[in-house]
Amino acid sequence: MNSTEQATERQSAIRRLLDHDITYSFFRSKVTVIAGIVTLIYFIATLFAPIIAPYDPFDLSTVDLLDSQIPPAWMANGDPRFVLGTDDQGRDLFSAILYGSRVSISVGFVSVAFAATLGIFLGLVSGYFGGRIDAVIMRIAEVQLTFPAILIALLIDGVARGVFGELDREQYAFWILAFAIGLSFWVQYARTVRASTLVEKNKEYVQAARVIGIPSLVIMVRHVLPNVLGPVLVIATINLALAIVLEATLSFLGVGVPATQPSLGTLIRIGNNFLFSGEWWIAIFPGLVLAVLVLAVNLLGDWLRDALNPKLR
Amino acid sequence: MITFILRRVMQAFVVMLVVALLAFTMFRYVGDPINQMVGVETSAEQKEALRDRLGLNDPIVEQFFHFIADAAQFDFGVSYQFKQPVSELILTRMPATLELSLVSAFLALAIGIPMGVYTGLKREAWLSKIFLTVSLIGISLPTFFIGILLIFIFSVNLQWLPSFGRGEVVTLWGSWTTGLLTESGLKAIILPSITLGLFQMTLIMRLVRAEMLEVIRTDYIKFARARGLPDRSVHFRHALKNTLVPVITITGLQLGSIIAFAIITETVFQWPGMGLLFLQAVQNVDIPIMAAYLLLTAFLFIIINLVVDILYFVIDPRLRVERSGL
């Protein structure tokens, strides 16, 4: 294959993508496009946080206590070196927010990945095998569904504190948090995947695969799984927003990531102590950044749900 | 009907048993209860004696039954950090949480339903669009940040309302304290209840709106209009009434999550309720309080679920016919 052929091939692939219903519905709604752009900016900014941020908030040698609690640059007493001002320890708030979003978004992604993997696996097993396994898994799911996610995450965190002890916990805090959040979200995936699997497993291609003796595990992963992933994507997007909020909430409550590695929630928690002494920016800016991020991801999730729903086409 | 209720009660019972098992496992295996109770200088023999006296050397199944029997009598042991019986701690804190939750639920319903009806009937009005945008923001803003914003605006800048505590409380019968009868108490509950109720309010508004849009298209509404009934009568006596079944269900189920979300609101506003107690317990690994809170909220949630299920059955005649036909 020569290079012109490759180029045309690539072009047609791009055109196919552009012609696709989903792409069309994306560009048709202005709100969705804006939400997409905002989300993209967030991802790029957090990915390249070390390059974009003017200071490294974790490098103690650049932090000067004399710079603490400087208001944003445009206010009286502001300092042009610190666009959004500084916190109580003299850290540049803008840099801290960039690094904080990084922690928030990573916890969000890891916990959603964990919840999705666990939920998809249990949903597939439950739907494909049915019978007693199905009954047990779905009963557990029902019990868990009666409890709000925040309560489950708090309980898991509390138990982890007891098991690991305070020192070890700081070290694993990120993973414990992602695990706690992930574990409180798996039910939705499991129920959705189970429902689609129940439909798919009676279709001819699965029957055919079974007749020629392909092992169940292979059928589930290679044949059924790709056909049940559509709704999972919608849940995952909406869950990402929920997971980010939950992480921020737990960090705000003081049971999330340790203060040495602050997420947006931790920053708000720190800033909350200074709200009454007039240093409002320490809490309000991270809060607004968090709110915009969650709103953008939520809007994307809403769009994806409508775009993938054949009833609304 | 009776078989249905009985089956649901049986299920609830099993769920409760599972939760109790979880709480018991936590209680028994996370950390050593004995080390938490005694000082550093206690000798090994004394510890062993205490262990024996508390029944921690009994067979594990027996211990579990003791645990359940105690819990059923509202005895959850002694808190590690406060050295007081857990049930006492919870009882003194419960009125604050329940009061806050009920006021928020009431606010959510009293504001959410009219807003839902309005946005459902006048889809194109600019006010509806504002309501919908605000509701989207309400869903996206984390609860704790709403609280901080409210404190920032109404307590720090305008200095209208207090930012923490319950204000002055008066004691009603027994140990039940209420802040709803004093001026400072009423002022103190405004911001926390708005914070807690905002999410539920937007949820109820969207639900009522969706249901209204659906009901308004049905034949009986068209017929009511054709009969020349006034708009008000059509909208409220015929349409709204039929949207209320799902609203009741969701509100009931949301009451559970209001109690859970109270943890966040209580922390932001330093509201002396059960949620704050639970959070302190999580931070200090105070397992008896955690276990008790888990059991109590589970019990509440399950009761609410059960009542909602049965209510649903009672309210909606269609369900009854289908079930009895089976």
| Residues A167-185: tens digit of each pLDDT | 666 677 788 888 888 888 8
> What confidence category does residue A11 fall into, taking pLDDT thresholds of 50, 70 and 90?
low
Q: What is the pLDDT of residue A111?
A: 92
CA–CA dist B93, B103 (Å, integer): 16
ipTM confidence score? 0.77
**Enclosing H/E stretch for A157:** helix A149-183
Report which residue type is found at A251: S
Nearest to B199 by CA among B147, B161, B130: B147
A157–chain B Cβ distance below 8 A for any pair? yes
Residues in A closer than 8 angstroms to B255, CB to CB, are none
Q: Is the pLDDT of residue A78 over 70?
A: no
A216–chain B Cβ distance below 8 A for any pair? no
Nearest by CB to residue B152, choosing from A147, A280, A294, is A280
Q: Is the pLDDT of residue B153 over 80?
A: yes
Residues 6+ apart with CB under 8 A from B42: B50
Nearest to A97 by CA among A137, A54, A65, A133: A54
Q: What is the pLDDT of residue A112?
A: 92
Q: Is the pLDDT of residue B324 over 50?
A: no
Report which residue type is found at A225: L
A291/B141 Cβ within 8 A: yes
A62–chain B Cβ distance below 8 A for any pair? no
Q: Are B263 and B275 in contact (CB under 8 A)?
A: yes
Please count the CA atoms within 13 angstroms of the CA of A300 that sit on its side-chain side. 23
Please count the CA atoms within 13 angstroms of the CA of B312 that sit on its side-chain side. 19
Q: What is the pLDDT of residue B326?
A: 39
CA–CA dist B211, B122 (Å, integer): 14
Q: Is the pLDDT of residue A290 over 60?
A: yes
CA–CA dist B87, B147 (Å, integer): 29
B260/A163 Cβ within 8 A: no
Residues in B closer than 8 angstroms to A299, CB to CB, are 136
Q: Is the pLDDT of residue B137 over 80?
A: no
> What confidence category does residue A232 fall into, taking pLDDT thresholds of 50, 70 and 90?
confident
What tens digit of pLDDT does each residue of A107-127 get? 899 999 999 999 999 998 888
Joined together, the tokens standing for residue A311 give: 């009833």
Q: What is the pLDDT of residue A113?
A: 93
List the beta bridge partners of residue B171: B177
Cα–Cα separations (whole angstroms), residue A102 to A45, A53, B119: 9, 12, 38
- What pTM does this model have? 0.81
Top-confidence residue, A110 or A206: A110
CA distance A22 to chain B (A): 23
CA distance B57 to chain A (A): 21
- Residue of chain B minimizing CA distance to A248: B142
**Polymer length in residues for chain B:** 326
Top-confidence residue, A7 or A47: A47
Top-confidence residue, A3 or B271: B271
Q: What is the pLDDT of residue A151?
A: 83
CA–CA dist A234, A304 (Å, integer): 6
Q: What is the pLDDT of residue A118?
A: 92
Q: What is the pLDDT of residue B75?
A: 77
CA–CA dist B179, B169 (Å, integer): 4
Top-confidence residue, A256 or A102: A102
Instruction: Give the pLDDT mean for B276-283.
Output: 84
Nearest by CB to residue A143, choosing from B15, B152, B163, is B15
Nearest by CB to residue A163, choosing from B30, B145, B294, is B30
Joined together, the tokens standing for residue B90 give: 């919870």
CA distance A205 to chain B (A): 35
Specify the range with the lowest mean pLDDT, choosing from A55-69, B17-31, B183-197.
Answer: A55-69
CA–CA dist B121, B185 (Å, integer): 38
Instruction: Give the pLDDT mean for A117-139.
Output: 87
Q: What is the pLDDT of residue A311?
A: 55
CA distance A227 to chain B (A): 30
A38–chain B Cβ distance below 8 A for any pair? no
Q: Best mutation site among B10, B79, B134, B148 for testing chain A: the one with the most A CBs within 10 Å?
A: B148
- Residue of chain A minimizing CA distance to B255: A148
- Residue of chain A minimizing CA distance to B25: A159
Cα–Cα separations (whole angstroms), residue A78 to A66, A271, B89: 14, 18, 48
Tokens 């709110």, located at residue: A291
Nearest to A239 by CA among A309, A186, A308: A186
A249/B30 Cβ within 8 A: no
Q: What is the pLDDT of residue A5?
A: 65
What tens digit of pLDDT does each residue of B166-178 get? 767 777 766 677 7
Top-confidence residue, A55 or B299: B299
Q: Are A153 and A184 in contact (CB under 8 A)?
A: yes
Q: Are A309 and A235 in contact (CB under 8 A)?
A: no
Q: What is the pLDDT of residue B317?
A: 65
A294/B140 Cβ within 8 A: yes
Specify the range with the lowest mean pLDDT, choosing from A240-249, A300-309, B124-133, B263-272.
Answer: A300-309
Instruction: Give the pLDDT mean for A256-271.
Output: 79
Q: Is the pLDDT of residue B325 over 60?
A: no
A148/B256 Cβ within 8 A: yes
What tens digit of pLDDT does each residue of B207-225 get? 888 888 888 788 888 888 8
What tens digit of pLDDT does each residue of B301-319 get? 888 878 877 777 776 666 6
A156–chain B Cβ distance below 8 A for any pair? no
Q: What is the pLDDT of residue A110?
A: 92
Mean pLDDT over each residue of chain A, to the nearest integer: 79
Greatest CA separation for chain B: 88
Instruction: Give the pLDDT mean for B49-62.
Output: 71
